[in-house]
Amino acid sequence: MYRQIIRNLLQQALITPADAGKITQFETRKPFSLHWELKTMLYLGVLLLNVGLGVLVYENIDSIGHVVIITAIGLVSVGCFWYAIRHRYPFSLGEVKSPTPYYDYILLLGCLTLLLMEGYWQYQYQIFGTRYGLATFIPMVLFFAIAYWLDNRGVLSLAITALASWMGITVSLQEILTKNDFSSQAIAHTGIFLGALLTVIPFALERINIKKHFSLTYLNFGVHIGMISCLAGLFLLDIKIVYFALLCLFTGFFMWYARTRHSVYFLTVVIVYSYIGITYAIFTALPDFNPWFYLFYFLISCIGIIVFLTNYKKFFKNYTP
Partner 1 sequence: MIAYNRDWLDALLTKKTAAQWHEKGLLSDSQWSSIQAGYPAGFYSPNLFIRIGLAIFGLILLSAVMGLITLFFSPDSELAFFLLSIVWGVMFLVILEVWAVQRAHHFGSGIDDMLLYTGICAIIGGLYYVIPNSAGPLLYCCIAWPFLVIGSIRYLDHLLTIAAFICSLLIILLIVKEIPDMALYLLPFSGMIFSGSVYFGARRGQQNYTWRHWHNLLVMLELLALVTFYASGNYWVIQQAGLEWFALEQVPIAWFFWAFTFGVPLLYIMAGLSIKDRLLLDIGLGCIGAAVFTFRYYFQVLPLAWAGTIAGAVLFILAYTAIRYLHRYDRVFTYAAETDKSLLQEVEEQLIEQTIANQPSATPPAQQDTFGGGQFGGGGAGDNF
* Shortest Cβ 74–partner 1 spacing (Å): 15
Distance CA 217, CA 152 (A): 11
Q: Which of residues 178-197 bind partner 1 (CB under 8 A)?
A: 191
Q: From its phi and psi, is residue 222 left (phi > 0), alpha (psi between -120 and 50) or beta?
A: alpha
**String of contacts with partner 1 for each residue 7-46, x by CB under 8 A:** -xx--x-xx---x--xx--x----xxxxxxxxxxxxxxxx
Q: Which of residues 132-171 bind partner 1 (CB under 8 A)?
A: 132, 135-136, 139, 153-154, 157-158, 160-162, 164-165, 168-169
Do residues 246 and 230 make contact, with C-beta atoms less than 8 angstroms apart?
yes
What type of residue sits at position 299?
Answer: L
In the complex with partner 1, the residue whose CB is nearer, 164 or 253, is: 164
109 counts as binding partner 1 under rule CB under 8 A? yes
* Shortest Cβ 45–partner 1 spacing (Å): 3
* Shortest Cβ 238–partner 1 spacing (Å): 22
Do residues 120 and 71 make contact, with C-beta atoms less than 8 angstroms apart?
no
Q: Which of residues 211-240 bind partner 1 (CB under 8 A)?
A: 217, 220-221, 224-225, 228-229
DSSP state letter for 224: H
Do residues 73 and 112 make contact, with C-beta atoms less than 8 angstroms apart?
no
- Alpha carbon separation from 24 to 8, 16, 17, 34 (Å, rounded): 14, 12, 10, 22
Q: Which of residues 293-312 bind partner 1 (CB under 8 A)?
A: 295-296, 298-299, 302-303, 305-306, 309-310, 312
* Shortest Cβ 240–partner 1 spacing (Å): 21
79 counts as binding partner 1 under rule CB under 8 A? no
- Alpha carbon separation from 56 to 16, 108, 279 (Å, rounded): 64, 19, 48
77 counts as binding partner 1 under rule CB under 8 A? no
Give the end-to-end CA distance of the chain in Å, rounded to a whole number.
30
